[in-house]
């Protein structure tokens, strides 16, 4: 199978971690008789330096012409003082919009080898943490009307949260389809006891659930979901929710796993082309020092194989290679533990590569 992958190395540690992921993808291609063709794309601070804007039109077109996009990280203090509409992060927003990516999918998985890093009690951790938050990405209050006016002698601000049925239905389907590829359990999170948008959300989700009888479905209010994630995260498989709630819950979920450097993510739309990236930032303080953890990016490549390329065996092989590297006691600085072996970014990538082969 031939696939075209747009590669955005980005800023800071981005080039280092992406290079390790590409090594792993090349090994997968050789092992399973695929061909991955890479196209370099400038986005973020590096694009500002080179082209004067965070995502030139030509670069977006390269992404749209690909089967999927692999991203390292963008941004850094070097570009803190550029105009707001030219900041590196604007490139990411433009990319999501241009690719029509409305679903952000962030796994929360605690690797057993790193159990001590979780802030939760051992009695909770030993039950396992392995779920994914499917967050609506381009609707809701973040994309509604924002106004600040003077009313009765004081400033008054208003933010509009709006959702249409079709927006809820398309993200709901992503949630159900994701559950079908995992353990067949879906929790829909809303605030239907207060918000009209949530009541519409629940109405649409209840209509959808009849199309997926194999999936165990439940509703949960967002405040309870926030509590349950720390009380008993093992109960969850897939959580689907709107933009604001998903932003908060996915950050909470990432913290209970103990290491942000291990967590991948995907952003998907109606087509098979998705955007895959680790959730951490560009870490400019360690850029170029071979200290970065490439595992989040390598696992993002595994998600690409699973969700965009329909290559579940290849994704399993990558994840199993990561497991073996951790079992061997290899650790980058951010996940270092007593009794383990400290390795650099390249060495961790090489180790995962060796276990894959």
Which residues are known catalytic residues? 142, 191, 223, 247, 251
CA distances for 270 relative to 48, 100, 255, angstroms: 30, 8, 30
Q: What's the angle, vertex CA 168, arms to CA 165 and CA 173, rounded to 5?
A: 120
Chain CA centroid to CA 346, Å: 22
The CA distance from 109 to 106, in Å, is 10
CA pair distance 80, 35, nearest whole angstrom: 39
| Beta strand segments in the chain, E | 2-10, 35-40, 68-73, 103-109, 130-136, 146-151, 154-159, 185-190, 216-221, 238-241, 264-268, 275-278, 330-331, 341-342
d(CA 331, CA 202): 43
Token pair belonging to 296: 């989040």
- Asked if 273 and 69 touch (Cβ cutoff 8 Å), the reply is yes
Contacts of residue 309, defined as CB under 8 A and 6 or more positions apart, other chains included, come to 1, 3, 67, 68, 272
Distances (CA, A) of 190 to 92, 197, 350: 27, 9, 43
The residue among 69, 89, 71 whose CA lies nearest residue 79 is 89
Burial per residue of 145-161, b for 16 or more beta-carbon CB atoms within 10 angstroms, e otherwise:
eeeeeeeeeeeeeeeeb
Residue (of 127, 124, 166, 12) closest to 79 by Cα position: 12
3 state SS of 12: coil
Name, in order, each residue with C-beta under 8 angstroms of 340's C-beta and a sequence gap of 6 or more: 329, 330, 331
């Amino acid at each position: 199978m031939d696939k075209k992958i747009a590669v955005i190395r980005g800023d800071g540690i981005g080039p280092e971690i992406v290079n390790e992921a590409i090594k792993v993808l090349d090994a997968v291609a050789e092992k399973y008789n695929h061909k991955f063709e890479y196209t370099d794309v400038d986005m973020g601070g590096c694009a500002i330096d080179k082209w004067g804007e965070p995502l030139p039109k030509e670069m977006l077109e390269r992404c749209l012409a690909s089967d999927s996009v692999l991203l390292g990280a963008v941004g850094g203090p070097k570009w803190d003082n550029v105009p707001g509409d030219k900041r590196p992060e604007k490139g990411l927003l433009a990319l999501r919009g241009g690719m029509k990516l409305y679903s952000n999918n962030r796994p929360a998985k605690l690797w057993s080898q790193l159990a001590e890093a979780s802030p939760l009690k051992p009695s909770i951790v030993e039950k396992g943490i392995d779920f994914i938050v499917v967050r609506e990405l381009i609707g809701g209050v973040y994309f509604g009307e924002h106004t600040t006016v003077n009313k009765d002698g004081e400033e008054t601000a208003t933010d509009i949260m709006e959702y249409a049925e079709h927006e809820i239905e398309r993200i709901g389907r992503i949630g159900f389809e994701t559950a079908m590829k995992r353990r067949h359990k879906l929790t829909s999170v809303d605030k239907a006891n207060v918000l009209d948008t949530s009541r519409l959300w629940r109405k649409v989700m209840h209509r959808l659930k009849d199309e997926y009888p194999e999936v165990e479905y439940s509703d949960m209010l967002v405040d309870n979901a926030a509590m349950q994630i720390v009380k008993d995260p093992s109960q969850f498989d897939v959580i689907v929710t709107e933009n604001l709630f998903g932003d908060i819950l996915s950050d909470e979920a990432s913290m209970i796993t103990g290491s942000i450097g291990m967590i991948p993510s995907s952003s998907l739309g109606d087509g098979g082309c998705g955007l895959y990236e680790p959730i951490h930032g560009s870490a400019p303080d360690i850029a170029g020092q071979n200290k970065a953890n490439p595992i989040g990016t390598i696992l993002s490549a595994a998600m690409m194989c699973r969700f965009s390329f329909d290559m579940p065996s290849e994704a399993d092989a990558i994840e199993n290679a990561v497991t073996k590297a951790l079992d061997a006691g290899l650790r980058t600085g951010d996940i270092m533990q007593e009794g383990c072996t400290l390795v650099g970014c390249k060495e961790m990538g090489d180790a995962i590569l060796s276990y894959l082969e």
